[in-house]
Amino acid sequence: MKKTFAAIQITILLAMLSLPSKLFAQSTNTVYLDPKQPVEARVKDLLSRMTLDEKIGQMTQVDKDAVINNKSDIVKYFMGSILSGGDSDIGDNKTVTWANLYDSLQSYALQTRLKIPIIYGIDAVHGNNNIYGATIFPHNIGMGCTRDTSLVKEEGRVTSEELAATGINWTFAPCIAVVRNERWGRTYEGFGESTDLVSEFGAAEIEGFQGDTLSGHMSILACAKHYLGDGGTFNGIDQGNTVDDEATIRKLFLPPYISAIKAGVGSVMASYSSINGQKMHGSKYWLTDVLKDELGFKGFIVSDWSAIDQLGSNFEDDVDKSINAGIDMVMLPMKYKEFYKAMNVLVSTGKIPMSRIDDAVSRILTIKFELGLFEKHFADRSLIDSVGSFSHRQVARQCVRESLVLLKRKDGVLPIPKENTRILVAGDHADNVGYQCGGWTITWQGKGGNLTPGTTILQGMFAAAPNDKIVYSENGDFSNTKADYSVVVIGEKPYAEGRGDASDLNLSKSDIDLIKKMKSYGNPVVVILISGRPMILEPILHFSDAIIAAWLPGTEGEGISDVLFGDYAPKGRLSHSWLKSMSQLPINVGDSVYHPLFPYGYGITTFNNSTKGSAPVILSAIVKKDGKHIELTFNKPMSDISLNGEDFKLNKNGLPIKEMIEPYIKKDDNTTIILSVSKGFADNDTVSVSYNSGKVKAADGGLLEHFEGFKIYNWVSN
């Protein structure tokens, strides 16, 4: 049938009217492309131009490995976001290579019809930690111990600068988990166990990342994670179930998000975990009713890695549940074709209303406009030299210094003199950048070795005290064991997420044996613990004269020698209660029954010795291998003139022992009183000691005060 000209005109007109309005209005006065227009107007204008497929694209986040070999799919599926997961590195992993990657991927996004730029996310959780040569900061557990929010804000700023150099404009940080059980493999990613501490530090780091305005030259988008209750799961099981009444859950875990929203956080990541059996990724109540409606969160919610797959029996249901619950962007990170298909079905069948899609896309576009992504498309290569720069590393070094917690110190031990001091150094964590950085460093799980430029603890010691005689043996084997100090650096090997979940927080037998071996040389022993959480120390208390919790300090090992040699006093205070045994977990400040080895907030913050004439303090006690000698070690030399067998009461398995006790000062260690007994103890006896005579004195006259039931560690079988 021959159509009249008028009929053809009408057909074209109808066709045009059926398309989103202003589809062809690419004139220079296009509102969404005009940075002078208010963000709200730009979002409204752009949204009105978008097709469903283009909207679905904005809700799609893929790992770069999903598209690195078929970048045209970025255009085809109108992709809105790309990420690099913990192991998703590129080539030589250097900054310029990352900048080239970002620019290349962005150039594809800008080929789409509406030229909507991608937002690129990465886990820069303690510096720009995937990138070779980046400054690696202490993990958050150490930052929490600094009690210095201005410092964590500065960490955020430095990290943002090192990210901006690569073009990447979004970090999946800070982790604002309130960590209630140190069995959890992600304990170190959180600032601590206290809701208030986490709230303060999370907000401060968000301000550091996002700057005064998101459009700032080096501002990057922060991401408060993992909403909600990720640190409160039963037994600290990663991705587990947080069980409690709603009031307690709100009181413990919500305040850090309220603070984060107040600090302007632009994105929130949902948690894999559940609350009272409901998966967070499927909880409309917590994601929409509480976070968006009640708390007024205006940014967007991103899912965790493949997390929606855990929701149901098939992917389409997963998408249905998660999007309708309030997830705005899905970290697929590979299944973008399936997502595209599922979304089209769910929208066409009305299961996902267009209003939900528009809400999600508006939130994402708002952030993109606020970040200035439509104006600054590519990496700022002028910042490349700032990555791992001396000034940045000095900031990280200060973080290391201030994160260290001095847990134990006998009078006269520390700081180590810088002149003519012979120091034996041992332990597999003394000269290993990878170990001191921990997980989320270059690779997802982290690993040992010199995997990125940094200063090991040992190198820091050599640099700090060139006039000392420092000798290193990883296994503690020295031709000459006579020295002024022994320093032993031990601890946990790197891990991340669930692979770090632990049912046993004891030190390894090899670490304990090494410390005992070093103590047998007769020198004062300084133990430096590299770990992602408090660990059980009772077995080594007696063989150490000082103990420093150094957490996971990152690349700047010199921050430790700064304190070791007294250039800076120790400053850190525990952000976690320190357990005595596994049976105590969970143990948190405020518990009705609370007997940690060291309490939340504890830390020795001076190198001053105890005041002359002050009461001596018992620091440790053991039953020796023969079962017949008990050693009680104090913080300072004791006097032997006043010792009397009646002074001490020993208890075995809950019952007082009647036999004669003969006390005397240990030869060549006058800080130790030995109690010799005839019958002795067996290896599984529970032993404790009490004192209440009021006669025993320290060498400086200080009177020993009463103490009851001090636990004695039983070494009979070791």
Binding site for ligand GLC (CB under 6 A): 85-86, 123, 172, 225, 304-305
How far is 270 from 321, CA to CA, in rounded Å?
Answer: 14
Q: Which of 494, 502, 488 is nearest to 536 (CA)?
A: 502
CB 136 within 8 A of CB 396: yes
- Least Å distance, CB 329 to ligand GLC, is 12
CA-angle at 474, arms to 472 and 476, nearest 5°: 80
Residue 434, H or E segment:
helix 433-437
Tokens read off for 360 = 């999600």
Q: Which of 240, 349, 364, 243 is nearest to 298 (CA)?
A: 364
How far is 106 from 113, CA to CA, in rounded Å?
Answer: 14
How far is 598 from 508, CA to CA, in rounded Å?
Answer: 20
Tokens read off for 591 = 């518990």
How far is 436 from 434, CA to CA, in rounded Å?
Answer: 6
CB 715 within 8 A of CB 543: no
- With H, G, I as helix, E, B as strand and everything else as coil, classify residue 269: strand
Catalytic residue among 123, 205, 304, 431: 304
Q: Which of 470, 435, 428 is nearest to 450 (CA)?
A: 435
Q: Which of 488, 472, 569, 561 is nearest to 530 (CA)?
A: 488
The sign one gets for the Cα dihedral 33, 37, 39, 41 is: negative
Q: Would you tell me how many other CB atoms lie within 10 Å of the CB of residue 544? A: 29
- Least Å distance, CB 261 to ligand GLC, is 19
492 in active site: no
- Least Å distance, CB 123 to ligand GLC, is 5
- Least Å distance, CB 322 to ligand GLC, is 15
- Give the type of residue at 529: L
Phi, psi (degrees; rounded to nearest 5) at 397: -65, -40
Closer CB to ligand GLC, 85 or 192, in the complex: 85
Tokens read off for 306 = 């493949």
Catalytic residue among 155, 200, 497, 556: 497
Q: Which of 302, 278, 393 is nearest to 119 (CA)?
A: 302
Q: How many CA atoms lie within 13 A of 675 on its CB side?
A: 30
Closer CB to ligand GLC, 318 or 556, in the complex: 318
Residue with tokens 């209660």: 577
CB 575 within 8 A of CB 662: no
SS3 per residue for 476-525: CCCCCCCCCEEEEEEECCCCCHHHHCCCCCECCHHHHHHHHHHHCCCCCE
How far is 228 from 180, CA to CA, in rounded Å?
Answer: 13
CB 678 within 8 A of CB 657: no
304 in active site: yes
Q: Would you tell me how many other CB atoms lie within 10 Å of the CB of residue 425? A: 26
DSSP string, 542-608: TT-SEEEEEE---SBTHHHHHHHTTSS------SSPBPSSGGG-S--TT-SS---SB-TT------P
Active site residues: 304, 497
